Structure formats: structure tokens, C-alpha cells
Structure 1
Amino acid sequence: MSTSGGIELHRICSRITLSLAAVTGLFLATGTAAAEPEQLPVNYSVAQWFIDANTAKPPFNPPGANDWPCVPTAAHPEPVVLVHGVLGNGGGWPAMAPLLHNNGYCVYSVTYGIYPSQSGPIAGMGGMEPIPQSSNELRDFVNRVLDSTGASKVNLLTWSEGTLVGAHYLLFNGGDQVVSKTFNLVPIWAGTHVADPVVNAAAGLGVDQAVFDALRPICQGCVDMLPVSGFIKNLQAAGVYAPGVQYTNLVTRADTEVVPYTSGVREAPNATNIVLQDVCPVNFAGHNSVSVDPTVAALMLNTFSPGSVAEIPCAPSPSPYI
């Protein structure tokens, strides 16, 4: 998670140091769809996520996703829209996108928050625009999915900053009318304190507003994730959740980017909160590796289609705390 120039550098450096050892792809045993889709490799590898997100080119299609002629089945009538995190794009879903496709879903992956002027090393890195603007992009993308598939509603799989983009869309941008369920990976409902040393130092010097102003044309989305931001304050004041939408929040005690990890836990009648280690005590997948984790993937499938995975797999994460 990145909320300032220094945190952005930390985020990028943490990605560069990811292990490039390949992790064996696993497949989850699930029910057979009426019309068996072509089975694609499901790559549970944080290294593959890093490669995909950093080499993807427009239109940023991950395996199995953004097949616009896809027709939803009776078993899975609601398409699933994937919403990435900061510095990501729609191409960075090597596990969840093909897994959903293999299980008979129409899957779509949005890319949002890319400033028009971005070029060079940051070209293709999303999540930088103001979150309300990114929410507009998600709204337009979902409308395109609905028009293409003929579905009346979709489900959302959101991750990191994408949880906030989804939250704004559901609360303020009409998303509550067309979304049934949202499965949120490491959400940031109360913001993240990971940048507190920088924020507090800037405040102590009286230059915090100047720092935020300097970041605005570079990564306003990063500023919006701060607990002190106007965006987080407005989200909290509005209650975070939209009535009528079912929320499932997946958090991990091994999260080093959403600090504290409990920022993603919020009680409500229409919300379910899952701490990964309560399901699998030996699994310390971190903020990034939850997106390519078999335990998390099974929980996601059971959220969108209850009972589709009979036994949730449990094993140590090959990329703990990443």
C-alpha cells in the first residue's frame, strides 16, 4: 500500500524483491458446470502476479477474463468483476481470473486510475487518480459488462485500494443497484497507518498539506487511502456499506501494508469478516499474496456460490508477509 512518495518507493521495492521461484499451480475441486468451459492454468504464484501486472499491456486482460461474448449460465448468472489495487492493472490476476473462468463464471477485469499523461516506468500502473474518479471508471465498466452479458447484476472481487473504489461505487455511484455481493481482499475501510512516520513528520514541520498537494498530480489515490484523508472521513461518515449488498471481508494478520489489518474489519448485518489465520492458522499470506492464495480462492468461490468447495485447503503460504 502506498500513500506518499516514500511509501510508493517502498511498495515498488517490495515488489522487486519478491522471490521469482515458481509456485506449483493448484486446482480447486468444484462442481461441474452445465457447459464445461475450457480449463486454463491457475497460477497460485505471487511472482507470476508481479510479472503479469508489470508486463501487461492494454487492454490488460488476465487469463480467462474480458471475454465480451461470454453468456452467463443458469448456475452462475451474475458475472464477476475484478478490481485491482494501487500500482496494479487488470492484467494482474493469474489465479482468480482463470479459476473463476474454469468454474463457469463470466469474468471481467477493470483497469482504473491511470493518469492520461503516464509514461515510462509508471505507464500502465493504475490506482493513481482520485478514488471517486476511479469509481466512475468502475461504474462505466460494470455498465458495459451488464450490456454485454444481459445480466441484471454482477459480483465484485476487490483488492486493496480496489476495495475503496468499490465502496465508493456502491455507496455514491449507483453500484448498490447492480451489485449483489462483494468479496473484498484486505480492505482499507479505515485507511492505513503504514505511512504515519512520513505523515507525522510532515505535520510536525507544518508541510503536510504541501506534501499532499505535491502528490495530487502523481498519486491522489495514495493520499485518499490515508486515515486523515477527506475520502476516508467521508466513507466512514457514510457507514462504509451500502444496504442491500452482501459484503465479505478477507483480512490477514500478516498484512504489512494495511496497518492495522483490522482496518478491513467492520461489523454490519450485511457483512461477514474473515481473518485468514482463523481459517488456516499456518497460512501467513500477506497483502499481495492473498490474491494468489488457494485458501482465499476457495473462500471466494464459496462466497459467490455457497458450498461449491467442499473442503477449504490449508497450507503454509509460499510467500508469507508479502
Structure 2
Amino acid sequence: MRRFWSRLGFALAAVLLVPAGYAAAQPEQLPVVYSVPAFVTGALTAKAPFDSPGANDWSCVPTAEHPQPVVLVHGVLGNGAGWPAMAPLLHNNGYCVFAVTYGIYPGQSGALAGTGGLAPIAQSSTELRDFVARVLAATGAAKVDLLPWSEGTLVAARYLLVDGGAEVVDQVFNLAPIYAGTNVADPAVNAVYALGIQDPAFAALGNTCQGCVDMLPVSANIHELQAAGVYAPGVEYTNLLTRADTEVVPYTNGYREGPNATNIVLQDVCPVNMAGHNSISVDPTVAALMLNTFGTPTEIPCAPSPTPYI
């Protein structure tokens, strides 16, 4: 959040320069829903093109105050419709907001219909690249900011390092990053290695969720990311972690030092807030930290999460 204070000064100066009686046009104010059930319902019941409230308005024109659109990058089994809090909140504050849907296998049906994040992360990275290119072309912006979450942090990391994202992305606010993979499936992973069946087991899982395989610490994707240094030069990273994360295990697998990185542990800001891996995407404290990082000075609330450890 090293840019916050300079942006706060800019915002105050802008207020002083506004002529008396002038009122800037305000965007339509949409409900901001801080609810885990709302994001689950939104993602599972949405139909293509999977738009969250306030997102994917392709006629949106960035303002001088917020010249960079914000692109939201969902996690595994998600899609662009699963942002009931962050998308309308950014819209209400005058940002052009876009929510990508990536990683859907062709022909998905039944329970998997419309759920993304399943395809290989390398493929999803190119889908994010193409989506950002479309956003830039539609808005006329020179760069975007990214708000990735969970698996989306790996997709964004690869996009920035491998697929040209560093040229068109200014900063990234990562929710529950997975830079070193997650050990949550260690019992199953250890079992298949003990039986010597890891190759066929991972291949079988890859037929339905290669993105899941790509999040394991033993995966080639994680090894390549770590070897590349995780961060792309010239891009500012903010990582939001929570000690209540039960899906990125340990939560410190999303922590990495860097000259262009700021790491925030939610409980260091608000000790009573035990929002988990999913809850942080609909949490008021996290939302305020995100707005401050993207240049909108906002008071940071502190309260217990209604869905702790979720």
C-alpha cells in the first residue's frame, strides 16, 4: 500500500481544486452484498456471459480519477458472476469493472456447467490476456489493475510473467494467493505417491480439473512460477492473506517478499476478523483495503466475520 498516501494527497488536492457548486456525475449505486451464499449462488446459477452487478459494461469510459479499469479474476469452480461485493463496490466508486470467466472446458454440463478454473492454468492465462486486451480496446485505457482471487492469483501471475501482462498491468491486489501451491490435498497426494500411481492419478484428475493439479506444490506450474521469481518487474503487488484460510494450506504459501510487493495479513489489520478463503471476497475490511490500494481513500472497518474460516 505504498502508493496510498501519495494518492490520498492527490485526492485532497483534487477536492480543493473543484469549483464551488460543481458536482461530478455519480454512477448508479448498486447493492453491495457481503455474503458467501450470495457469491456461491451467483456463480452456480449464472448463465453466460457471467456478469456480476456493475461489471462488464463494455461502454464504460474511465474517468480521470480512475483511469485504469479493474479486472476481477475468479478462483476454481467460479466465474465472472461470483463477485456480489467487489464488483458493485468498485462500480459505485466510479471504476470501470470487468470480470473475466476463464478455464471452462468445452461441453461442460450438469453440475459443472458454467464453472471455470478447470482448464490448465497456462491456457487460462492466455484467456486472461485476451480478455484484458478486449478491455483496453473497449475503454481506451493504457493499463488495467487486477483483482485476482485464489486460483486466479496463479493465472494472473503467469499472465504477468509469461503472457505479456506486465506491459499493460499497473498493480495487482491478490486475495489468498497460492504462489507456493496449497498442501490441503496432501493426504491424497502422499497416498498416490506411496502407491506409485501419481502419473495416472494426476492425468485422470486433469481430464476434469487440470487447474486443480496446477495448484499442487508438486506441479510443474508451481515449480515454474517459483523458479521465475513470482513477481514481474514494474508491477505493484499487494497480497491479502488470512490466517483463517483452510484452502491455501498453510496460508503463508501466499506470502512472498519483493521490492514491488506488500503483504497484508487480515488479522494484523482486524484481529477479530477470521474471514476464510472464500469469505475474504465478500468482506468489508478486505474491500476497504482494496479500495485504498487502488486509490480511493476509505475508512477500514473492523468486525468479526459472519462466516469465519469459510
Scaled to the shorter chain, the TM-score interval is over 0.9
Partner amino acid, structure 2, of 1:286: G
Query: In the alignment, what sits opposite 1:160?
Result: 150
1:270 match:
260
Following superposition, the deviation at residue 34 of structure 1 comes to: 2.9
The alignment's TM-score, normalised by the length of structure 2, stands at 0.92
Identity of aligned residues (%): 74
Q: What are the residue-to-residue correspondences of 1:52-201 with 2, within 5 Å?
A: 52-201=42-191
Alpha-carbon distance between aligned partners in 2 of 1:47 and 1:196, rounded to the nearest angstrom: 28
Separation in structure 1 between the aligned mates of residue 107 and residue 220 of structure 2, nearest angstrom: 25
Corresponding residue to 1:315 among 294, 303, 306: 303
Q: Secondary structure at the match of 1:247?
A: strand
Secondary structure at the aligned position of 2:89 is classed as: helix
Q: Which ranges in structure 1 are unaligned for 5 or more consecutive residues?
A: 1-29
The superposition leaves residues 95-135 of structure 1 with CA deviations (integer Å, 9 ceiling, x where unpaired) of 00000000000000000000012111110110000001000
Residue 38 of structure 2 aligns with which residue? 48
* 1:202 shift after superposition: 0.5
Q: Deviations over 1:35-77 (max 9, x none)?
A: 2000000000111111101101100000000000000000000
**Alignment match of 2:246 (pick from 242, 247, 256):** 256
Q: Deviations over 1:157-193 (max 9, x none)?
A: 0000000000000000000000000000000000000
Counterpart residue number, 1:212: 202
| Equivalent residue number for residue 220 of structure 2 | 230
Amino acid at match of 1:138: L
Amino acid of the structure 2 residue aligned with 1:35: A
User: What is the root-mean-square deviation of aligned Cα atoms in Å?
Assistant: 1.2
Aligned residue for 1:202, secondary structure, equals helix
Q: What TM-score do you get using the length of structure 1 for normalisation?
A: 0.89
Aligned to 2:171, what secondary structure does the other structure show?
Answer: strand
CA distance in 1, matches of 2:25, 2:157: 33
Structure 2 distance, partners of 1:34, 1:179, is 27
Q: 1:294 aligns with which of 284, 291, 298?
A: 284
Distance in 1, Cα, partners of 2:170 & 2:56: 20
Partner of 1:239: 229
Partner of 1:282: 272
Question: How far is 1:209 from its partner?
Answer: 1.0
- State the SS of the aligned residue for 2:191: helix
Question: Using the alignment, how far apart are the partners of 2:133 and 2:161 within structure 1?
Answer: 16
Aligned to 2:3: none
Query: Which residue does 1:19 correspond to in 2?
Result: none
Report SS of the residue matched to 1:250.
strand
Using the TM superposition, give the Cα deviation of residue 242 of structure 1 relative to its aligned residue in structure 2, in angstroms: 0.1
Which position in structure 2 is the counterpart of 1:22? none
State the alpha-carbon separation in 2 of the partners of residues 116 and 231 from structure 1: 22
How far apart are the structure 2 equivalents of 1:186 and 1:265? 9
**Runs of 4+ with >6 A deviation:** 30-33
- Measure how far apart 1:215 and its partner are: 1.1
Task: Name the CA distance, whole Å, in 2 between partners of 1:34 and 1:163.
Answer: 34
Aligned residues: 291
Tell which deviates more after alignment, 31-40 or 164-173: 31-40
Structure 2: give runs of 5+ residues left out of the alignment.
1-10, 16-22
AA aligned opposite 1:317: S
Q: Distance in 1 between matches of 2:25 and 2:252?
A: 41
Q: Distance in 1 between matches of 2:80 and 2:127?
A: 13
SS where residue 233 of structure 1 aligns? helix
1:9 aligned residue: none
